[in-house]
Amino acid sequence: MSNRKSDGSMGDKSLLVPGSYFSSALTLDQPPGRSASSFDLSTASSPVDERRTVLSTQSNAARKLGTQQLIPKNLAVTSRPKNRHHTTVVTLPVSLQATDISWEDYDSDAADGFSLRRNRRNQSYRAAVTSLNLDALPSELQTETLTLVSEAKAANQKQEHKPGRKRTLGRIRNRKHAGSFKDDPRFYQEIRERGLNANNLSTEDEEFSPTEPREEDQGIVVKNYRAAYMTWSQLQQVKDLGILDIISPEERKRQEAIFEIITSEFSYQHSLSILVRHFKDSADLKKAMTATEHHHLFSNISVIQEVSKRFFEDLEKRHQRHPVIQDISDIVQNHAAKHFEPYIVYCSNETFQQRTLQKLLSSNTAFRESLKQIEGSKECGGLPMISFLILPMQRVTRLPLLLDTICQKTPGDKAEHFAARWALKAISKLVKNCNDGARRMERTEQMYTIQKQMEFGKIKPFPLVSSSRWLKKSGELAAYTDDLSIFRKAFSYKSFYLFLFNDVLIVTKKKSEESYVVLDYATVEKVEVEEEITDSKLSLKLTMSPNSEGRCEQMIFVAESKLDRARWVTGLSDVKQSNSIANGDLPQYEATKAYMPKAPDELSLQQAEVVIVLQEVDGWCHGERMRDGERGWFPASCATEITNRTAMENNIQRMARLRKETDV
C-alpha cells in the first residue's frame, strides 16, 4: 500500500459515521501522502457533494486495484461476530472535519447496546477515526450513535495476540456473571471485600467497579486477592431497570457496600461447606485421631455453618424483594445479638484447636498423610486445612469493617444511618466477646500450668493465678556479674529464666524442663529496662526497685540477638503503655495472609488487617493492630507496607471512629 500514488481527482476522505444504509463494517486505508489540506475546498459548498454517498468498494482508490478492497491490516476481521452492529462507510466534505476529538468507548455487551464506559479508548476505531466532530455532521446523519467495538475485557486488549490466534473486532462472547452471583462460588480465603478498604482514593462512581491492577505506589495491592463476585451495578436486573440512571452516585456506593456483604457471606458459606464435607466428615481423618482430638480440632463448626446459612437466607430474601435494597442493618443486628453466639464458643476453642493440630501434624503419620491427600484435591483448591479452620475468626472480624463502610455511605440524617450504627455496635460487641473468650481460655489454662511449675523456696510466695493476669513473654537470658580479686576483674555468666506478666516480672532458675525456682520478682511499675553495649554484647540493664525483699536490685542480661533484646525491651515497655500512640506519621502495614502467633508476645493477624508498625528489627515488626489496639510482633513477610499518605490518614480516621463507637 506504500506504493500507491495520490489521486488528485479524489476529493473525499473515508470516515466512519453512523447510519443504517449499508452493512459493511470495514473502512479504506487512507493513501500515504494525503492530508486534509490536499482536498479541494470548493467542494465544501456543493450541496450535491455534501449529500453524496460512496461505497468503499466503489471508491476511486478501490477501483484502481479492481474489486479488491484496501483494508487496514489491524482492522481485518477473520471471523464473523455472533451479533454484528452495523456501521456505514461514507465520504464527507473536508469542511466538516475537526481535529483531536477523542472517542468514548461504548460497551456493546450492555443491555441497551450503547452503555458508556468511562475513561476508555477503543484502539481499533481510533486507528480508523481520529478526528471526527459529531456535532458538525448533517442532521440527517445524526440519527444513530456509532456502536464501537466492545472492550469489556480491557485487560485482554493489552495482551499481545499469540501466533495463529484469530483476531476479531467482535465482542467477547459468553460474558461471565450474566446470571446469579451464586453461579460461580469462590473460596472466602481468596477474596478481599472492597468494603474493607479504607484506602480507596476514588471520588468517582467506579469505586466499586471491577478492580484492575493498580500502580504499586497507590496503596496496598494484594495480588492473590480476588474481587467478591460481581458488583451490584453489574446485575442484569439493575441494568434492565435503568436504576443507575436514576439513583445518585452516593446511593450506588451504598448499594454496592450492602450487596458485598451478601455475596461475601455466600463465599464464606461455600468455604465452610468444604471444611465440613471434606475435612470434618472425612472417614480417614476420623480414623487417624481420637474423638477428643476431633472435637478440639473442629469444635462446633457444623453449628457455625447452619448459622451462616440462615444469615445468608435472610439477606438473600431482602435482596430478592427489589434490586435496590433499602437496608440490611436490622438483619445484621438481629443475628449478631440472637444467633451468633456459637462464634464465641468456636473462638474460645482456638487454643485447643491450634495445639491439637500441631500435635497431630508432628506425631501422627496417618493423620498427616490423609490430610495431605485431602488438601491436594480439586474440591479444596489446594488450600491447607488451617485456612479453613480460621474462617469463622476471619469473617467475624471483617463484619465490623463492612458495616462501618455502610455507615459511611449512608447520609447521617437518615434513619438507615442510625440503624447501621446500631448494627455496627452489635457486631462489634460480638467480636469483643469472641476475642475475650479466646484469650480467657488460653490465659487461664496457661496460668494454672505456670503455677504448678513455680517453686518459691525462700522467696515470699504470692498467688499467681488471677483472672486479670496473663503471660506477656517468657524466655532464657544470660546474666553476668563481676567478681573482684586482688589480681584482676573477672566476669562470670549465669543463666536465668524470666516470666513477664502484664503486672509482675519473675526471675527464676530453670530446674528442669517443667520446673522453675523463683529467685526474685517485682511489679512491672517498679521495673526499669535500658539497652546497653558492653564488650560488643547485646546487653540490657534491669533495675527492680524495690524487689521482693524491698531493696533495689540491678541485673545485666545478654540477649542472643537484636530481635531478642528488642522483644524484651518492648515487652517491658508495652505493659506500662496502655494508651494507643498510633498516629498518621507511623508506618502502616496490611496483612497479606493470616498469621497465627507462636509466642505470647506475637500478634495474630487476619488477611487485610491493618497494623501500625512501631519498629522493625531483623525482618520482624512490632505494631498495634488497628481494630482493637492489641500489640505484638509479627513477621514482616506476612504484610505489605501502605505507602499512600491519603490511605494512611483514612485508616487513622477509621480506627478512631471504630474505637469511639464500638469500644473495640
Task: With cut-offs at 50, 70 and 90, classify the pLDDT of residue 229.
Answer: low
Average pLDDT over residues 393-398: 92
pLDDT at 190 over 60: yes
Contact 552, 535 (CB under 8 A): no
pLDDT digits (tens, 9 = 90+) for 488-514: 444 567 889 999 999 999 999 999 888
Return the H-helix or E-strand segment holding 15: strand 13-17
Lowest mean pLDDT among 489-503, 550-564, 592-606: 489-503
User: At which residue does the C-alpha cell 526474685 appear?
Assistant: 520
Burial of 409 per CB tally in 10 Å (0-12, 13-18, 19+) = buried
Say how far apart CA 506 and CA 247 lie, in whole Å.
Answer: 64
Return the H-helix or E-strand segment holding 223: none
pLDDT at 163 over 80: no
Output the pLDDT for position 5: 42
Contact 369, 302 (CB under 8 A): no
Higher-confidence residue of 56 and 543: namely: 543
User: At which residue does the C-alpha cell 447521617 appear?
Assistant: 412
CA proximity to 590, closest of 607, 568, 576 = 607
pLDDT at 620 over 60: yes
pLDDT at 617 over 60: yes
Residue 535 in grid coordinates:
564488650
Roughly how many angstroms between the first and final C-alpha of the chain, as a whole number?
71
Contact 217, 646 (CB under 8 A): no
Higher-confidence residue of 104 and 358: namely: 358
Pairing of strands 553-558, 471-484: antiparallel
Lowest mean pLDDT among 278-287, 453-462, 568-577: 568-577
Count Cβ atoms below 10 Å from residue 154 Cβ, excluding itself.
14
Return the H-helix or E-strand segment holding 348: helix 341-348
Output the pLDDT for position 530: 86
Count Cβ atoms below 10 Å from residue 274 Cβ, excluding itself.
22
CA proximity to 537, closest of 479, 582, 598, 595 = 479
Return the H-helix or E-strand segment holding 544: strand 537-544
Say how far apart CA 167 and CA 187 lie, in whole Å.
Answer: 34
pTM over 0.85: no
Count Cβ atoms below 10 Å from residue 620 Cβ, excluding itself.
17
Output the pLDDT for position 488: 43
Mean pLDDT (the chain) is: 74
Three-state secondary-structure class, residue 261: helix
Q: 495-525 b/e with 16+ CB inside 10 Å = b? A: ebbbbbbeebbbbbeeeeeeebebbbbbebe
Higher-confidence residue of 462 and 107: namely: 462
Q: 105-129 b/e with 16+ CB inside 10 Å = b? A: bbbbbeeeeeeebeebbbebbeebb
pLDDT at 341 over 60: yes
Contact 290, 367 (CB under 8 A): no
DSSP 478-538: EEEEEEE-SS-EEEEEEEEEEEEESSEEEEEEEEETTEEEEEEEEEGGGEEEEEEEETTEE
Say how far apart CA 341 and CA 346 lie, in whole Å.
Answer: 9
Say how far apart CA 622 and CA 583 lie, in whole Å.
Answer: 15
pLDDT at 577 over 70: no
Output the pLDDT for position 502: 92
Residues 6+ apart with CB under 8 A from 484: none
